[in-house]
């Protein structure tokens, strides 16, 4: 029997889900999720219907795959499974926006869509990936105020905690957190498919590095040191990435947004250990809708501290 692929399967996007979700109030942001159960794989689309939002992209780790890198405005960001092929889902989002504009192709009417992918073929033996139609379906389903948590969307087949062996990984997925400080809203959404394990604020591994023999999760540093002392190399498997969207309505200039993104992305090394490794392709999109012109309570450093804690909360929500 031939291997299942997008070319030989009758794939039907699924856009309605039960299960845990984050509820939040952030005007100017819509989120859509679509999946192919045949993978299983999926995509998650963040749409800014009020018009282009300022964007800075922070790319770390040794194995990223991103479309739209370098653009400073976005109307949508698409996260997807399917490795490099999953970037087609972002093209589907752009195609749907083009259709909504009655196929006008003026210079200022071209949809500004960025995308990034995870390698999610580890747990599944087929060649199904998020394609153009799935990206279009996700955008069509986009709505305000809710974000599915866990094994949904781009995180449908994500795993975490693979440093010592792939079979020590555990299912991961997507997580999110939101907070409003005075007039300013800030949210973090992440898809964790990391080589590292998820770590709580007490330093405990809560997802990944799972030793089935002892039913315990391995601590990072002691296990690395033990292996090296015994002459056993640590050879991590390839195909890992964490994708993150940090969005605020506080108006920020390009330098402020770039610095905020770096600050928050670096902070996530507390929640995912190790992070930004050669085998990872970590990407963070820092986005500002600019709806709040100024906030006397917050400079970008203080906002970065708050957003960094939200990023940790978002990662932990994957494991909850």
Residues 96 and 89: their CA atoms lie apart, in Å, by: 11
Tokens representing 298?
């917050």
Position 320 confidence tier, pLDDT thresholds 50, 70, 90: confident
Asked whether residue 1 carries a pLDDT value surpassing 80, the answer given is no
Domains and CATH numbers, the chain: 21-319 (3.60.70.12)
Those residues whose C-beta lies under 8 Å from the C-beta of residue 247, and which sit 6 or more positions away, are 26, 29, 46, 53, 186, 187, 188, 189, 286, 287, 288, 289
Q: Residue 32 forms beta bridges with which residues?
A: 45
Nearest to 57 by CA among 263, 285, 250: 285
Asked whether residue 294 carries a pLDDT value surpassing 90, the answer given is no
Nearest to 281 by CA among 72, 70, 84, 54: 84
Sign of CA dihedral 118, 82, 197, 17: positive
Residues 216 and 205: their CA atoms lie apart, in Å, by: 9
Those residues whose C-beta lies under 8 Å from the C-beta of residue 55, and which sit 6 or more positions away, are 71, 72, 73, 74, 77, 114, 257, 285, 286, 287, 288
Average confidence score pLDDT of the chain: 95
Q: For residue 43, what pLDDT is reported? A: 98
Residues 263 and 285: their CA atoms lie apart, in Å, by: 12
**Residue range 102-125, pLDDT digits in tens:** 999 999 899 999 999 999 998 899
Position 269 confidence tier, pLDDT thresholds 50, 70, 90: very high
Q: For residue 296, what pLDDT is reported? A: 83
**Residue range 238-260, pLDDT digits in tens:** 889 999 999 999 999 999 999 99
Residues 226 and 201: their CA atoms lie apart, in Å, by: 24
Asked whether residue 183 carries a pLDDT value surpassing 80, the answer given is yes
Q: For residue 86, what pLDDT is reported? A: 98
Q: Are 43 and 116 in contact (CB under 8 A)?
A: no
Q: Are 169 and 218 in contact (CB under 8 A)?
A: no
Residues 282 and 58: their CA atoms lie apart, in Å, by: 8
The catalytic residue positions are 241
Tokens representing 239?
């195909």
Q: For residue 221, what pLDDT is reported? A: 92
Position 196 confidence tier, pLDDT thresholds 50, 70, 90: very high
Asked whether residue 198 carries a pLDDT value surpassing 80, the answer given is yes
199 vs 237, which has greater pLDDT?
199
Q: For residue 49, what pLDDT is reported? A: 96
**Residue range 274-283, pLDDT digits in tens:** 999 999 999 9
**Residue range 154-182, pLDDT digits in tens:** 999 999 999 999 999 999 999 999 999 99
Q: For residue 319, what pLDDT is reported? A: 86
33 vs 319, which has greater pLDDT?
33
Asked whether residue 69 carries a pLDDT value surpassing 90, the answer given is no
Q: Give the global pTM.
A: 0.97
Q: By CB neighbour count within 10 A (0-12 exposed, 13-18 middle, 19+ buried), where does 251 fall?
A: middle
Those residues whose C-beta lies under 8 Å from the C-beta of residue 230, and which sit 6 or more positions away, are none
Q: How far is residue 157 from each of residues 60, 77, 194, measured CA to CA in Å?
A: 22, 20, 12
> Can you list the alpha helix ranges (DSSP code H) found in the chain?
88-100, 132-140, 220-229, 254-267, 300-319
Which residue has tokens 């015994």?
230
């Amino acid at each position: 029997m031939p291997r299942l692929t997008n070319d030989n399967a009758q794939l039907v996007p699924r856009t309605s889900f039960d299960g845990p979700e984050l509820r939040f109030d952030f005007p100017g942001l819509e989120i859509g999720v679509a999946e192919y159960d045949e993978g299983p794989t999926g995509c998650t689309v963040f749409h800014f219907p009020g018009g282009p939002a300022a964007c800075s992209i922070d790319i770390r780790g040794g194995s990223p795959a991103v479309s739209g890198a370098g653009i400073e405005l976005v109307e949508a960001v698409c996260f997807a499974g399917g490795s490099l092929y999953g970037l087609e889902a972002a093209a589907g989002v752009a195609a749907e926006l083009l259709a909504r504009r009655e196929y006008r192709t003026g210079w200022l009417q071209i949809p500004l869509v960025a995308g990034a992918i995870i390698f999610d073929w580890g747990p599944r033996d087929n060649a199904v990936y998020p394609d153009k139609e799935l990206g279009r379906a996700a955008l069509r389903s986009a709505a305000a105020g809710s974000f599915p948590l866990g094994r949904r969307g781009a995180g449908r087949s994500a795993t975490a905690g693979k440093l010592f062996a792939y079979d020590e990984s555990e299912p991961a997925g997507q997580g999110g957190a939101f907070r409003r400080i005075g007039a300013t809203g800030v949210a973090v959404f992440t898809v964790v498919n990391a080589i590292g394990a998820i770590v709580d604020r007490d330093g405990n591994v809560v997802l990944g590095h799972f030793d089935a023999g002892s039913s315990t999760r391995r601590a990072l540093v002691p296990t690395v040191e033990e292996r090296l002392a015994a002459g056993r190399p640590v050879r991590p498997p390839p195909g890992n990435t964490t994708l993150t969207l940090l969005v605020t309505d506080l108006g920020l200039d390009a330098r402020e947004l770039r610095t905020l993104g770096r600050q928050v992305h670096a902070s996530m090394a507390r929640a995912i250990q190790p992070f930004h490794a050669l085998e990872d392709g970590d990407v963070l999109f820092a986005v500002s809708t600019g709806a709040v012109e100024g906030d006397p309570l917050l400079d970008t450093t203080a906002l970065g501290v708050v957003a960094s804690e939200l990023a940790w909360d978002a990662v932990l929500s994957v494991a909850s």
